[in-house]
Structure 1
Amino acid sequence: MGVAGLRTLLVCLVAGMSAALLLLPLSPLVQCALLFLVAAITWCTPALPHTSAMLLIPALALALGLVDWAGVGQVLLSPIFSVFLFSFLLAALFRDLALDRIALNNLLVWSSGSERRAAVALLISSGLLSMWTSNTAAASLMLPVALAIGGMGQDSDNGRFLAIGVIYSIVYWGVTTFAGSKVNLLVAGATDFDFVGWMALTIPLVSLLWALSMAWLWWLYRPRFAQVPVPAGWQWTNLKQSLAVAVVALTLVSWALVGIHRPDARGLMTAIPLAGALAFLLLGLIGPKRAWQAVNWRILAIFVASMVLGKIASQVALGQVLFQWTEQFLGQLGPIAVILGVILLVLVLTEFISNFATAALVTPILVSYLAPMGLGQGSIALLLGVVCASAFVLPSATPAMGMLHASGAVRQRELSISGLPLKLMVLVAMLLVVIRA
């Protein structure tokens, strides 16, 4: 079957499932399952590549009454949506104002012209930044720099290695603090860990997983870095660059402080990135036409659909149902088999409905199930925190992955090749944690 034939088949499947959803008297749970299948086809294949196709999930959900306009409005006013808008404008400014080249020059000055040392410094600094600002803010700041550094060599494998490596560093090290991700707060609250205790628990395993993931990416892409002449260092050439840096710094610091001290202040978390984006426009740093072009509407549409799916999954108790099915089919093989099945389910879910929505679905279920088995709170917390964060393939998984997709530096096929083995590595690591406990 050729590409055209495959696309026709996939379009027919999507049309058939959409018709079944709209015409047949299906239960909300079955409707939710079919919506997941529609999402899998439209997001993971070229069947419906246009932005309008990404809106199929929320459109069907509205038509079926699984979500109302108020629920969609909450998604559009969410902090994640506003951070996406800010990040897209920031990436455009980095290119237009040559801020990425300034950052690159300073890294090369620090590394005495060694591209390899500059790349390693970028990977490490990306992880450290994500520990204290959230992985969303870290990705918006560090990914443009990674793309600039990746472009300094003659081989595009340098760019792929750095772009993916920066995002993986951000995702992994964001697991280690409450500021890194809301998932950590949710899981730590369910397992009674404080800030210091959570860091002490997660850093050893995250360090190992991060090192293994970097080794895997190095082997996969074989980047070829060189020694280059040391450029001039920190140099501002115009007022626009200074204004842009000031706006970015104020926005990210404000967002990080609110995230640490008032993580439940949803209105502030939404308003701060929007204020930063508006400042870019009002100060003339970017024009309205360029701003419109800079926004990747396809990625935004996928994330809206992802968050809508998360709301529906929560309403129909999808997590509880999936766990019951897993226990029913694997229960005779013992508790380890059930835990393996649950980990696999979480690794799949976290690609489609965001890691926080996945954590909200499965955390109370797994805590109540694993604790009576004698599994310690530390093991339960590690399992939930690491598995829910292990979203390395689809743009719907985390904002960091969405930004990586939007950059156009890496194709979906390449992300699948690099990300799926890492999810398998996480699965093995979590099984070892459970067995040792």
Structure 2
Amino acid sequence: MQEIREGEIFCYSKYNVAEKKREQEVELHSWIMSDSLRAKRYGTLLHDLGVKYKSLEYIEKQTGYYRETMARGVRLHRMLNHVARSAEMVAKSKGQQVPIADSTRALETIMKMYDEFDMRVEKDLIDLSIREFYAHVDSVFWGEWLTEQYDLFEGDTYALVDWIWENSLFTDQGRFEKALSEATTAEKFRADPLMAAINSTKMIMYNNYKSKVDRGIKLTRLENNYRNLLYQMNLEKGIPQYPDANSTMRITYGTVGPLRLCDGIICLERSTVRGILEKYDPNRYIYSLKPELKSLYDARDWGRWADASTGELYINFVTDNDITGGNSGSPVMNGRGELIGLAFDGNKESLAGDTYFDPVMNKCVCVDIRYVLWILDKYAGMQHIIAEMLGE
């Protein structure tokens, strides 16, 4: 997520998007005022939006820091609440408080979640999240527990995090398994210092504050008016518009081609297994490969999935189609309606695309369907699926 945001900011700066939007607003305001009926109804729209954004600036900043620290920064959040709910559910099903371990299903689910974590990493994440939260979020949003602990530790957040970690049931596997094997109540789990810290501040606190300041005409209504008017202005000027394809099928068309990043740097329109092997590093997780897959790559047995003209097995290709959030897995078809790939990503240089679309830099990254079929065939051994799809 952070990489996406970094890419968006990079693109906003590179393409000078803010200035382009200001120019667009000037143009829109002139168009609104050119018609007396529009001017009467929407003449203050841009001013109203500016006032509304200014009034919400404070709470949006507070909410943003909360989301990136206590809500998203602490990965244990979901598991902790699941444990407390499991204690309640097991007690309800048994008619009395019993150990969570008495329910094999509940225990297996919890331990599967627990095994996903490396507690050394989680300690660093929690340490950073709590310190950043205290540093940037006003105390009115801390909640009772975080406020009391901050005062108790006299603002020493390092000492506070160490104390939380040393006293939490969740941060030590021995303590955690012991708590699961005993009749630990949901209330005791929720009183755990780590869980108490996370649950001390809640999204509802920020939403309630926002509701108080977002009075009068709601921001959503103003933004809807802005979008509708912008659409009508461009339509009147003959500028092509995106269709309203919500809840319907949307089809875009384009061509396969290279990405010209900057002077002297060109990314080819498709990649091969060679690129995977060039990046291969068994000591780095994101560049490692399972031994069986590495062996298949080294053997270069592409079978019928190799390109007929080059003999290569292609992995990905890029097109100038549009892609946005939720498009991953969308089918990519050629001019004959044949499935040639699946869209799944956009290049970093296109990450401002939802706000500003650059026809040269915006690219859609697609996986070649032949590679998908090769994986099913050679790696997964699903020849029956291949035969069924091809009618063999």
TM over 0.5: no
What TM-score results when the alignment is normalised by the length of structure 2?
0.24
Question: Greater relative contact order (Cα 8 A, min sep 6): structure 1 or 2?
Answer: 1
Which has a greater percent of strand? 2
Which has a greater percent of helix? 1
